[in-house]
Amino acid sequence: MKKALRILGIVILSIVLLFFVGFLIIDEKLPEGESGPEADLMAEQMLAALNKEAWDKTDGVSWTFTGIHDYDWDKENNVVGVKWDDKEVALQPASKTGIVANGENYSGAEVKEMVDMSWDFFNNDSFWLCAPYKVFDPGTERSIVTLKDGRKGLKVTYTSGGTTPGDSYVWILDDEYTPVAVKMWVGILPVGGIEFTWENYVYLSSGAMIAQDHWLYGAVNIDITNVQ
């Protein structure tokens, strides 16, 4: 028994050490950036590559987030149909209010909980749909950074708005200024500099570009499907 417990202790210690070493390897300090006209120009070039003008003129878009949340976003009126499990909410994101399908079957507290959940889902899931289009949103600051591997990036810090003000994202662009990856320094992640790809673009009927795949180190994909 003592030998078994000793082996278990060694295994647990090894796992902790591996996690700690992995943390040290992956974790990156948020790079300092150079703000000003050059950073804004890089952001504008990225938006031009993605056809931001077409995105602004897009009346609506629907998509499925990782196969679990379905959205039908009326951009013109800023109303979002959110579906998950057996729940369905017509959400107004600006006011964080909404109408629950079959709401008469739920208590007032349950309705509020579902509306709040739909807002949290939409706030997170729409990031993976259209985050690059939001680099000039109110409360954003832009700068050009050099990452520790030598790559240049466009850092966007959200000083206000959303659910976690203070989060920063560094967009990695190709030679045509199209985003190919994003590195994150956000409150909900325990390490800084986590990198997701931004790839497998599809064109909306308006001409706007949406990346459907976001791979984390080739192991996990946060995918956007049924985009139209």
Question: How far apart, in Å, do the first and last CA atoms of the chain sit?
Answer: 60
- How remote is the C-alpha of 98 from its chain's centroid? 23
Full-model pTM: 0.84
> What are the DSSP E strand ranges found in 79-119?
79-84, 87-92, 97-100
pLDDT tens-digit map of 72-100: 999 999 999 999 999 999 999 999 999 99
Please name which of 160, 170, 212, 177 lies closest in space to residue 194, comparing C-alpha atoms: 170
Name the least confident of 25-34, 80-89, 109-118, 182-191.
Answer: 25-34
Instruction: With beta carbons less than 8 A apart as the criterion, state whether 211 and 199 touch.
Output: yes
Tell me the percentage of the chain whose pLDDT exceeds 70: 86
At a CB cut-off of 8 Å and minimum separation 6, what does 216 contact? 194, 195, 196, 222
SS3 call for 158: strand
Q: What is the pLDDT of residue 143?
A: 97
